[in-house]
Amino acid sequence: MSDELDDNQNAEEGEEITPNGSETPEGVPGAGQAGTFSVSGMYREWFLDYASYVILERAVPALYDGLKPVQRRILHSMKDLDDGRYNKVANIIGHTMKYHPHGDASIGDALVQLGQKDLLIDMQGNWGNTLTGDSAAAPRYIEARLSKFASDVVFNPKTTEWQSSYDGRNKEPVFLPVKFPLLLA
C-alpha cells in the first residue's frame, strides 16, 4: 500500500497512472482507457475549488447580515434554544452541529469570538480577554444566551429565507434579516 502511495506522489505532470500506481507504458493497447487517468492539472482545479469554497463559505462575512456562516448558525441555534435562561456553551455547540458540518472546535472558537464582542451574546463565566490574550474557559464551564439587542434586531421569521442544512434534516437561514450594520460594528 505504501509503495502505491509513493508511486502516485512521484508521478510527474502529464504522466498517466493506473489505479495500482504503476506507470502506463506507451504504445500499450488500452492505455488511456478505463483504469487509467491523467493527473496533470487536477491539483490546480481542486485547489482553486477548495480555496473558493473556504473564502465564500467560511472566512468572509456576508454583506447582507455581516455574519460568517458559522456565526449565523450559532445565532440560529441560540434562538432555537432561547428560553431567557443561560445555556452551557457546550450545549449550544452541540445544537449548532445540526447545522454546521465542520466540527465542534470551529463552532466553539466562533462562539467565543462572537461573545467577546459583547453585542449579540450575554455571557456568564470566564470568556477570556482579547486585550491580554487570555483564552476562555472550557465550553462546559461557561454559559451564554442571546442578548436583548440580538433578539430585537437580528431575527424576523416573516422575512427570513430558509435552506436545508448540510445533511437535509434541518432548515437554517440563508441570511438573517439584521436591522443593524453588524459588518461595520
3-state SS, 12-40, equals CCCCEECCCCCECCCCCCCCCCCCCEECC
**What is the Rg, in whole angstroms, of the alpha carbon atoms belonging to the chain?**
23
The domain segmentation of the chain, as residue ranges, is 67-173
Count the residues in the chain: 185
Other residues' Cβ atoms within 10 Å of the Cβ of residue 95: 18
Question: Phi/psi of residue 88, each to 5°?
Answer: -60, 140
* Contacting residues for 105 by C-beta, under 8 A, at least 6 apart: none
Q: How confident is the model at residue 16 (pLDDT cuts 50, 70, 90)?
A: very low
* Contacting residues for 182 by C-beta, under 8 A, at least 6 apart: 61, 65, 66, 67, 119, 120
Q: To the nearest whole percent, how much of the chain has pLDDT over 70?
A: 78
Residue matched to cell numbers 478505463 = 34
Q: How confident is the model at residue 55 (pLDDT cuts 50, 70, 90)?
A: confident
Provide the pLDDT for residue 28.
44
pTM here?
A: 0.73
Pick the range with the lowest mean pLDDT from 18-32, 65-79, 149-163. 18-32
Q: pLDDT by residue (tens digit) across 141-182?
A: 999 999 999 999 999 989 999 999 999 999 999 999 999 888
Provide the pLDDT for residue 52.
83
Is 141 among the catalytic positions? yes
Residue whose C-alpha is closest to residue 127's, from 86, 94, 96: 86
Provide the pLDDT for residue 26.
53
Q: pLDDT by residue (tens digit) across 84-124?
A: 999 999 999 999 999 999 889 999 999 999 999 999 999 99
- For residue 129, give the DSSP letter: B
Residue whose C-alpha is closest to residue 77's, from 58, 57, 61, 93: 93
Residue from 43, 50, 53, 141 carrying the catalytic annotation: 141
CATH class of the region 67-173? alpha beta
Q: How confident is the model at residue 12 (pLDDT cuts 50, 70, 90)?
A: very low
